[in-house]
Amino acid sequence: MSVTLRKIVEQDLERIMNWRMDPDITRYMNTDPVLTMEGQRKWLASIESRQDVKYWLIEVDGQPAGVINIGGLEHPEGHCTWGYYVGEKRLRSIKTALGLEMSMYDYLFVKLGKKKLYGDIFSLNQGVIQLHLMCGSEIVEEKKAHVEKNGEFFDVTFMCMTAEKWLEIRDRKKYEKIEFPDV
């Protein structure tokens, strides 16, 4: 399976909109948005004009599969946030997930020289929490009833990887290296 990343273009917006409103995706996110193409175009213009975020379309074997992003790129202490999802269920795999995560660490810590990468995960999403732990990330905090969505409260697990730890464990990790092109 070959995984590549590329710039998001207008032709991707409807697909991204549909993924982002898919209950299988939104059940693990802070919001259940109702999106429009007009709103998607504004979102694309916004991310293209900002220096503190980067978004890529994930392709698996040349097929659009999901979205990965980084935030906080201008944080003065080198701390960033990130997130991703693979919206095409048939293209999901542990190999892809491991490659995306550990290649993100390479990109942020080796190429960009950042210091820390944070992520937050709904605590009920134990599979993703275990994946992050396998990659070397650590649990920083768990907040009970941290997100309210549709009248229901969700616990959130906050995780972190540091440049120091990644550089220490990197050579012991086996993963498909994925390039993060400039966007």
How far is 90 from 65, CA to CA, in rounded Å? Answer: 9
pLDDT at 149: 94
pLDDT at 120: 97
Give me the residue label for tokens 């990330």: 137
- Give pTM, 2 decimals: 0.95
| Binned average pLDDT, 10 residues per bin, the chain of 183 residues | 95 98 93 96 97 98 98 96 96 96 98 97 97 98 96 97 98 96 92
pLDDT at 179: 97
Catalogue all structural domains in the chain, each as residue range(s) with its CATH number. Answer: 3-172 (3.40.630.30)
Provide DSSP, 60-116.
Answer: ETTEEEEEEEEE-TT-TT-EEEEEEEE--GGG--HHHHHHHHHHHHIIIIIIS---E
| 31: Cα within 13 Å, side-chain hemisphere | 4
pLDDT at 1: 78
With contact defined as beta carbons under 8 Å apart, do 20 and 66 qualify? no
Give every CB contact of residue 146 below 8 A, 6+ residues apart in sequence: 153, 154, 155, 156
Give CA 106 to chain center in angstroms: 14
